[in-house]
A and B are shown apart, each in its own frame.
Chain A
Amino acid sequence: MTLTFFIANVIPSDPVLLRLGPRAKPDEIAFWRHQYGLDLPLPVQYLKYLGGVVQGDLGDSILTNRPILVDLKDYLPGTIELTSVSFLMIILVGVPVGIYASTHFGSIFDRVSDFLASAGMGLPVFWLALIMQLIFYRALSLLPLDSRIDMVLGPPPRITGMFILDSLLASDMPRLLSSLQHIILPAVTLSLASVAGIMRQVRANILDTLKSDYVRTARAKGAPERIVITRHVLRNSFLPVITMSGMLLINLLSGAFIIETIFNWPGIGWYTIRAIVSSDYNAVVSVTLVIAVLCTIINLLVDILYSALDPRIRLT
């Protein structure tokens, strides 16, 4: 947190100047700087900020003129929705493909998917997003260009802030369909880059487990292959996947920044990029803080899950 604050305050550009425009008079500038506390010495600003954070006050956004906490509440669900859908897609595709590839080691399927995986891992997400827009919106007219929902329809009544969930809860079919339609492209693009990693990890883990002694024992005992796979191999290969899921979520968060900007998806990534462009330090600092907190929570959950699932770790 200290890091983010100092980073933000080393920014040479002046947000107040940017907001008031180049014609601003010196006393106007001074007034607004005082309002935002920018004329106080740095350490004092830091202490004030700390005090504010503890009370839940992250300051006001210079751009939107609202408390940042309110801004974040507005935009966070968008990112959560996008990230969750992507995460599901990655797991639902990556894991089965990984399992199949490893159990059919050396087959055409295995080799093709491995090749696609290494290509996929290097894809620049921002470029892929634009290409997807070109193909599915411009050329094929299959999917909408951007935003979370059809503008004519408007968002569903807000319960969680996640349009798909809210439309479901309100049994609002047109909005549900529209949200689903709008999320496909961003989510798929976000997933494509990471699905390769998961697939490879699953495959590598299973291949490793297949070599181990207890699998050999099980086979020697005459257990049918299906039982060997499901009871022994799968259960034991899954621990590293959990750790990878944690990293995956974190990577999805950073990918979301770019995807949200390109697809005009109002989430915190979109909010941050806009804040950066307008030198809205408070907002940038706050978002970085929120993300840091989220990452810490994710890592903690992964640790807990890991120790819960692996009895060996519990004993140490």
Chain B
Amino acid sequence: MIGNFKKILRKPANVTFILLGLGLLFLAFFGKQVAPYNPLKLDMQARLQAPSWQHWMGTDNLGRDIASRVIAATGLDLLSCLVILVGASVVGVLIGLVSGFYGGIIDEVMMRISDVFIAFPGLVLALAISVALGPNLINAMIALVAVWWPSYARLIRVQALALRDREYILAARALGGGSGWVIFRHILPNSLVPLIVLLSTDAAPALVTATALSFIGMGVQPPAAEWGSMVNQGSRYLLDAWWMSTFPGLAILATVLIFNGLVEIVRGQLSKTHA
């Protein structure tokens, strides 16, 4: 294991991404302390200032320092992404396990339901759900988990279906292992690798969709600092104050690129052990 790690660190590209990823985590946890200004503090004298030495990314229409807000938003956005992925995978895995293992009508019903969700364009569905529930962060999270769970359910279901008739499962059950035990002890661990691959591929789209929802106004509400809603606020001043939208968007892009780099490392490792 440690040997693998050393091999990873030998490539400069990997080291860069790992460092950047750690930097991201640092900002997520300690952003508020590190930020030069208070992200929520208004300063009407300093409205709409272009980037300068005092305000590296300029100020917004209420005089708040954009750099501080971008940094402060890191935690919120990364957390949203995590919540969506964890939520979707937990829900999806549970449904997929039950569906695949027990089969029959439960399977039919679950798959029809997931078909409905999959056929629909993700953003539109998430939008519709969060409109119905009300525009705040928690409802946006619920909406996004609702959009994302089907692919996990299907993945795990396929695994469960494939594995449930294998000899060692039958043996385990013959020895008296109850279904629950078999599911958790045998099927789940064997499904872990594809699950991780799916999670890593989904991380970036989850982040982008969460910020897109906030951009439309359905997620985080102002004055909280969040990249998507900052881009939205900036769009009204776009032609005069380009910095308001540009920097939060760059933060999203940078995070996505870092995710992609980290994902490559993870996938590289997995394909070696799971080839």
- A interface list, Cβ under 8 A from B: 3-4, 7-13, 118-119, 121-128, 130-131, 133-134, 138, 250-251, 253-255, 257-258, 261-262, 272-273, 276-277, 284, 288, 291-292, 295-296, 299
Contacts and interface: CB of A to CB of B under 8 A. Distances in A.
A127 B132 contact: no
B119 A299 contact: yes
Contact of B204 (A13, A122, A128): A122
19 contacts: A7-B132, A8-B131, A8-B132, A122-B259, A124-B208, A124-B211, A127-B231, A128-B249, A131-B245, A133-B238, A138-B239, A138-B242, A251-B121, A253-B121, A253-B124, A258-B215, A258-B216, A272-B127, A295-B120
Contact of B133 (A10, A254, A272): A10
Q: Across chains A and B, which 6 residue pairs bring their CB atoms closest together, nearest first?
A: A127-B249, A122-B256, A254-B121, A254-B123, A7-B132, A122-B204
Contacts of B217: 277
A291 B124 contact: yes
A291 B238 contact: no
Given A122-B253, A124-B212, A124-B253, A134 B122 contact: no
Contacts, number: 120
A135 to B, nearest CB: 10
A277 B231 CA distance: 18
A128 B256 CA distance: 14
B246 A119 contact: no
A7 B128 contact: yes
Interface string B213-253: 00111100000000010011011001100100110110011
Nearest to B261: A118
Contacts of B248: 127
A3 B228 CA distance: 27
Interface in B109-126: 116, 119-124
B132 A11 contact: yes
Contacts of A125: 208, 212
B14 interface: no
B200 interface: no
B257 interface: yes
Given A124-B253, A127-B252, A254 B122 contact: yes
B132 A126 contact: no
A248 to B, nearest CB: 11
B208 A4 contact: no
A299 B118 CA distance: 11
Contacts of A276: 127, 131, 216, 218
A276 B119 CA distance: 22
A254 B126 CA distance: 11
B191 interface: no
A131 B124 contact: no
A130 B231 contact: yes
A166 to B, nearest CB: 27
B208 A122 contact: yes
A66 to B, nearest CB: 21
Contacts of A7: 128-129, 131-132
B245 A127 contact: yes
Given A3-B116, A119-B257, A127-B249, A288 B124 contact: yes
Given A127-B252, A253-B121, A254-B122, A134 B242 contact: yes
B11 to A, nearest CB: 15
A157 B196 CA distance: 54
A250 B124 CA distance: 10
A10 B245 CA distance: 33
B238 A11 contact: no
A292 B116 CA distance: 9
**Best-surrounded residue of B211, B228, B235 (most CB of chain A within 10 A):** B235
Nearest to A4: B128
A297 to B, nearest CB: 11
B254 to A, nearest CB: 10
A250 B216 CA distance: 19
Contacts of B127: 257, 272, 276
Given A124-B212, A131-B246, A284 B128 contact: yes
Nearest to B232: A126
B134 interface: yes
A146 to B, nearest CB: 11
A261 B216 CA distance: 9
B26 to A, nearest CB: 21
A126 B212 contact: yes
